[in-house]
Amino acid sequence: MVRSPAFTADHRVRLLQGAQELFPALVKAMDAALSDIQFETYIFDFTRSGASVAQALERAARRGVRTQLVVDGVGAGAFPLEWTERFSAAGVQFRVYSPLGPLGLLLPHRWRRLHRKLCVVDGCMLFCGGINVLDDLHDPNFGTLAAPRFDFAVQATGSLVAVASDTMDQLWWRMQAVRDMRERRLPEALQALRAASAAQHAAQVAEDGPRVRAALLLRDNVRNRSRIERAYRRAIGAARHEVIIAYAYFLPGGKLRRALLMATRRGVRVRLLLQGRYEYFMQYHAARPVYGALLAAGVEIHEYAPSFLHAKVAVVDALGERPWATVGSSNLDPLSLLLAREANVVVEDAAFAADLRQRLVQAMEQSGRRMEPARYAGRPLRQRVLDQVAHALMRLALWITGRRY
């Protein structure tokens, strides 16, 4: 039996679409911060509106607000020297999660990335979702985009904020301990490890309570290896009317695929809004070999065309008696579900679920292109070969990590 996440009923949750809605809310919260800001992101890009978030962090640190920023060593890449110096001068505490080193991603343990996007302000407000610090109309690899990137986040208050804050504290102090040990500062390292242990205990206590309304789901490589995936399987297994999933990178494992197929057999309408534009070879091609069985079972697949789809959201039975919705950083693919640190907010609220559903349905109907079984079967030979090669490479990568999926 799949355990449900711990829910509490004391939350207020606001859906935010794109950086155009997230960044102003982030900046407003940071400018009002009194004590501390904790911020984690995979990508931090300073182009256009991304600079507004950096400037807000800088202003907060100069006011004396404790400001901690963690970025991923792959996603963020090399920080501009100007901003490294500005953050240092302002007092922004800044760390890089798992820098690649000379061998880069040739070492399998480097495939474990910090992919979650979390910000906690003054311990009472949380931002969580799939949106990086990256302007909606800018892509580091493709330049200016013709239409905004399609993505979501939430702004929340309530008990789940403490869970997010504690898990961010835990990671911060563990990174501090590693740095201290490398510098042979063992007393400081032991103190940092004790702080991480205390943060972990606080997170466990914060998760106790009645299971209603909203919860924060975390994925890591220690205690929470499969929590997000199991929550998905439970929600899909309980669906009675409709499942809508929008994901940038979609390569579900066998259990998730079976849950979707079983839902269609029960008469549930299952719709997927997936990436329609080429972005990365592995993510684009490796997913397509699984489409055939889904289409044959009656699953609707819509490919988003105007810009890059970066969303990681789902809605189950939004108009039914038990609405369920999630917004977060975790893709439904092996990199997210087996290797990365991820964070999703799950909401059981009719108004929130209906709002998210309406935006996804609108995107499918106005900006999506439905994939028909005949069109899928008639893909050019070159594309089918590339799909199989990418799928085989993904399976090889899983074999190297020793993970089952």
Give tens-digit pLDDT for 347-356. Answer: 999 999 999 9
Residue 79 has pLDDT above 90, yes or no: no
Q: Span 278-297, mean pLDDT?
A: 89
Q: Which residue in 11, 285, 302, 310 is the catalytic one?
A: 310
Q: Would you put residue 91 in left (φ > 0), alpha (ψ -120 to 50) or beta? A: left
Give CA separation, 179 vs 68, 98, 128, 193, in Å. Answer: 16, 11, 27, 11
Helices (H) and strands (E) in the chain, counts: 13, 17
| Range with lowest mean pLDDT among 145-149, 176-180, 302-306 | 176-180
Please identify which of the residues 45, 72, 115, 180 carries the catalytic annotation. Answer: 115
pLDDT in tens, 94-140: 999 988 877 777 777 778 899 999 999 999 999 999 999 999 999 99
Q: pLDDT band at 385, cuts 50/70/90? A: very high
- Give the pLDDT band of residue 300 (cuts 50, 70, 90): very high
Is the Cβ–Cβ distance between 249 and 334 less than 8 Å? no
**Segment 302-309 mean pLDDT:** 94
Active-site annotation holds for 122 = yes
Question: Which residue of the set 135, 139, 220, 317 is catalytic?
Answer: 317
Which pLDDT score, from 0 to 100, does residue 3 have? 42
pLDDT, residue 8, reads: 84
Half-sphere exposure of 170 (CA within 13 A, CB side): 18
Rounded (10°) CA dihedral 21, 23, 26, 29:
-80
Q: With bands split at pLDDT 50, 70 and 90, how would you rate the model's confidence at 207?
A: very low
How far apart are the C-alpha atoms of 96 and 36, rounded to whole Å? 19
Using a cut of 0.85, tell me whether the model's pTM lies above it: yes
CA distance 156 to 346: 11
Q: Which of 11, 285, 302, 312 is catalytic?
A: 312
Q: Which residue has the higher pLDDT, 198 or 235?
A: 235
Distance CA 311, CA 245 (A): 9
Distance, CA of 294 to CA of 69 (rounded, Å): 41
**Identified catalytic residue from 11, 45, 72, 117:** 117
Measure CA 396 to chain center: 24
Position 225 pLDDT exceeds 80 = no
Known catalytic residue: 115? yes
Catalytic position from the list 31, 122, 138, 355 = 122
Query: Looking at residues 40-46, what average pLDDT do you find?
Result: 96
What whole-number distance in Å separates Cα of residue 327 and Cα of residue 203? 21
Q: Which domains does the chain possess?
A: 12-206 (3.30.870.10), 214-401 (3.30.870.10)
For residue 136, indicate whether it is catalytic. Answer: no
Catalytic (active site) residue 11: no
